[in-house]
Amino acid sequence: MGSGKKMWTAVLLATAALTITAACGSEGADGEIKLRFSYWGSDARQKMTQEAIKKFEAQNPNIDVEEEFSDFGSYYETLATKVAGGEAPDVITIEIRGLREYADRGTLADLSSTVSTADIDGKVLATGAIDGKQFAIPTGVNAWSLVVDPKAIKDAGQKLPDDTMWTWEEYVDLAAKITARTGGKVYGTQQAFNPAFLQIFAAQRGESFYKGNKIGVSPTTLKAWWAVHQKLIETKGSPGAAKSVELGAQGEDRSLFATGNGAMGMWWSNQLGSINKASGKQVDLLRMPKAQGATTGGMFLQPAMFYTASSKSERSAEAAKFIDFMINDPEAGQIILSDRGLPASSKVLEAVRDKLPEADKKTLAFLEAIKGELTDPPAAPPKHASAIEGILTRYTNEVLFGRMTSDEAAQRLITEANALIAG
């Protein structure tokens, strides 16, 4: 859900190298307006999206919404090609990591006065704004959280932690005890390398992931973050480096939860349902552990994805109307539910609350419980930031496999990342 490992660098450079020209809507012989809508996802997402589109078309008989759907792996490469060739879809789904890249290239329209956002939390809405222009409307929200299997922890003779006050040291210790007590049949935790994890870890130390057009995470914090991963491997609280890296590149359907070999892990909160399904168990969400003496837990809400509109579309009014429907219409919300994150619109969320699957109700209850502890959602990152995940993964591997010291890796990572996002 919004955290894939597809490398963007070549795609975005290709987009930047070509002149972006008009992507025109079309009109059929009978006067029907053709509106192109691009998005990615699973077969299940496509099916529910098609149902929502039918509702929109019933309300707007003169508009025909044409889907441009693909899996996540090919989505951005295809999108970049269309944009660079002057064939941008009228409505474009995008993640926060690529938002500034497309906005700064003039690809996206300002939706400030065309889509109703009155029912969206102002801080969440601000994540789709750049330089005072609302280029993107959040579909829904989630939070990077710790996922636990209470039964696996109990079966290992351990107790669930008090997540309001537990530390990274306690997390590592609990993971090691679970593995030891089960004779290695169940690992205490599965490693996670997502930048959201590092962002939370850094916030607990008073640092931000980005500081303007530079990396805001210090070498000291990077080394401390890697030390948590290394300690988990050393104490056998997690699988070894090779297995951990392999698992980190896979989805929840191939996680330790799915095979019955893990008690903890880190995922986006909206993945709780799919983890339940993959594991065949009822898993729960917990707060992330904290650094000793931290005054904030560092957790935050992040839009699962955004809806944007092409700035060159000849169907800008219809594009805005469709986005408004997908964000604000309760009928659309009752079809889509939490597929694109828990609905960003408070009105829609209230309308679908009772219809949410049990796992999503649990997620909603968790997010409501920690709402007062959350830090402000991060703003859209700098251009080229979409490649940072790959850089972080590469240097993390160098450290975990012992090919580079954490001191050297931290300095090289910051230098390389800063050169990329400053360009």
pLDDT digits (tens, 9 = 90+) for 5-28: 344 444 444 444 433 333 344 555
Q: What is the pLDDT of residue 358?
A: 94
Mean pLDDT, rounded, of the chain: 92
pLDDT digits (tens, 9 = 90+) for 336-383: 999 999 999 999 999 999 999 999 999 999 999 999 999 999 999 998
Q: What is the pLDDT of residue 28?
A: 52
Which amino acid, 189? Answer: T
**Length of the chain as a residue count:** 423
Q: What is the pLDDT of residue 418?
A: 97
pLDDT digits (tens, 9 = 90+) for 93-117: 999 999 999 999 999 999 999 999 9
Give every CB contact of residue 49 below 8 A, 6+ residues apart in sequence: 39, 41, 67, 69, 336
Give every CB contact of residue 70 below 8 A, 6+ residues apart in sequence: 40, 78
Q: For the chain, how far is it from start to end, CA to CA, in angstroms?
A: 28
Give strand pairing partners of 267. Answer: 145
Q: What is the pLDDT of residue 147?
A: 97
Q: What is the pLDDT of residue 385?
A: 86
Q: What is the pLDDT of residue 32?
A: 86
In the predicted model, is pLDDT for residue 227 greater than 80?
yes
Q: What is the pLDDT of residue 370?
A: 97
Separation CA 195–CA 312 (nearest Å): 33
Burial 224-243 (b: 16+ CB within 10 A, else e): bbbebbbbbbebbbbbebee
Give the tokens for residue 85: 């060739």
Separation CA 341–CA 366 (nearest Å): 14
In the predicted model, is pLDDT for residue 142 greater than 70?
yes
Full set of structural domains in the chain with CATH: 9-139+304-364 (3.40.190.10), 144-299+384-422 (3.40.190.10)
What is the number of other CB atoms lying within 10 angstroms of the CB of residue 212?
A: 10
Percentage of the chain modeled with pLDDT above 90 = 87
- Taken in order 176, 408, 423, 245, the sign of the CA dihedral is negative
pLDDT digits (tens, 9 = 90+) for 372-419: 999 999 999 998 888 999 999 999 999 999 999 999 999 999 999 999
Please report which residue ranges of 121-160 form alpha helices under DSSP H: 122-125, 150-155
In the predicted model, is pLDDT for residue 64 greater than 60?
yes
Tell which wins on pLDDT, 137 or 386.
137
In the predicted model, is pLDDT for residue 186 greater than 50?
yes
In the predicted model, is pLDDT for residue 91 greater than 90?
yes
* CA-based nearest residue to 9, from 75, 76, 74, 55: 76
Separation CA 47–CA 119 (nearest Å): 27
Separation CA 272–CA 264 (nearest Å): 12
Classify residue 128 by its DSSP letter.
G
Separation CA 204–CA 301 (nearest Å): 16
Q: What is the pLDDT of residue 5?
A: 39
Contact (CB, 8 A) for 237 and 176: yes
Classify residue 182 by its DSSP letter.
T
Q: What is the pLDDT of residue 422?
A: 87
In the predicted model, is pLDDT for residue 286 greater than 60?
yes
Q: What is the pLDDT of residue 251?
A: 87
- ∠ Cα 326 72 86 (to 5°): 75
Q: What is the pLDDT of residue 30?
A: 61
Q: What is the pLDDT of residue 10?
A: 41
pLDDT digits (tens, 9 = 90+) for 117-128: 999 999 999 999
Contact (CB, 8 A) for 123 and 241: no
Residue 370 to residues 139, 169, 255, 343, 347, Cα–Cα distance (Å)? 21, 22, 26, 17, 20
**Three-class SS of residue 203?**
helix
Q: What is the pLDDT of residue 27?
A: 55
Classify residue 209 by its DSSP letter.
S
